[in-house]
A and B are shown apart, each in its own frame.
Chain A
């Protein structure tokens, strides 16, 4: 203050503070209402001051927090991926088709990619040679036959589905002993044709068509579909429509089935060819 010595200013300030404190203490002890109000104001001020201090401190610690969070996030991501993989494996196992045929090995797999609208359709699975998949293994699902593995990579397999004209399966109708080749009709996604049946053979619509078991790829009695209409072709053979059980549009989990005796069978076949 102009015209006032610093020492007197200090004395004035000190006296002011002293008297105000004395007045506050007196007021606090004499009035409950003012006491509560002052306590509340004091708590609010303390909370603000400490809260602000904490905010500032946490700002300085933000980098460390971020690093910790990143590490935690990475750990959790890793665990999540592990759980997801476990879930996928469990799902594959749950959805596995028949597993009780002798001399066959079954491996669950998941469809990675599949075509349905081409004239030559294929399927790619998430298991490869490192998982024990070999070419000429069958691909089945819990609904029926899906296709045949054609080639294998370390981690993936490529196969032809039943919706490929290059694929032919030996099939049996109902309880009969008659076996005929089954191929895709080339037009419909859920329909195949059983051909080269004898003309006198009568087929009742609704009979179940299953794998014959004569091939070295599929085990016997894997369901394929049900018979539909039949017709004579060129007057010499009968052809039967088959409605497939497998809905390819909903296919996700499959089972790769491998005939463990296939090598021996093939060797015998080759020997027979040579002898002949």
Chain B
């Protein structure tokens, strides 16, 4: 599959399907939308990515749980911090050299760090608002940690799929 846009759309559908049909336990919430945002072209402006995140969140909420705004609320901060996370994890030279994101070029460890940070931002917003004061802080913390681990693992796979084409450039 060569079209990044199509892969992006298919992964987004996969995300909504996952949320709709695969609820294993209340302790684990799997999300790879932050990784998808990370894999958007790095030169894409923050404002545009934020608007895209907002729209994606609305669509996901519309298709999944009906709590309109919840995913947008958590995804917009991910978009806002995306470039900063890239700068912190991949270095300032990433933008100077106008590089593209690639597992081969940047290495999977850095990707894992970037995904952990962005997924963490998402979950920090999402879990408390979703729980709406109904669950204990212990439950929320456990859910955050388990979800972060599971989501990061799945996100790595999603990011790998999205960046498959750009990887070819570095071979």
Contact = CB atoms under 8 A, between A and B. Distances in A.
B134 A33 contact: yes
B52 to A, nearest CB: 11
A33 B132 contact: yes
A8 B49 CA distance: 14
A40 B53 CA distance: 28
Given A30-B66, A34-B70, A16 B132 contact: no
A272 interface: no
Question: Which of A8, A11, A23, A27 has the largest count of B CB atoms less than 10 A from its CB?
Answer: A23
Given A15-B47, A16-B50, A23-B54, A40 B133 contact: yes
Interface string B85-114: 001000010010000000000000000000
B67 interface: yes
Interface residues of B, number: 29
A12 B73 contact: no
Given A16-B50, A34-B67, A37-B133, A24 B73 contact: yes
Interface string A1-35: 11100001001100110011011111111110110
Nearest to A14: B47
A19 B72 contact: yes
- Interface pairs A-B: 8 shortest CB-CB: A26-B69, A27-B69, A37-B132, A23-B73, A23-B72, A30-B68, A23-B69, A26-B68
Given A15-B46, A23-B54, 4 more contacts: A2-B87, A12-B47, A30-B61, A30-B67
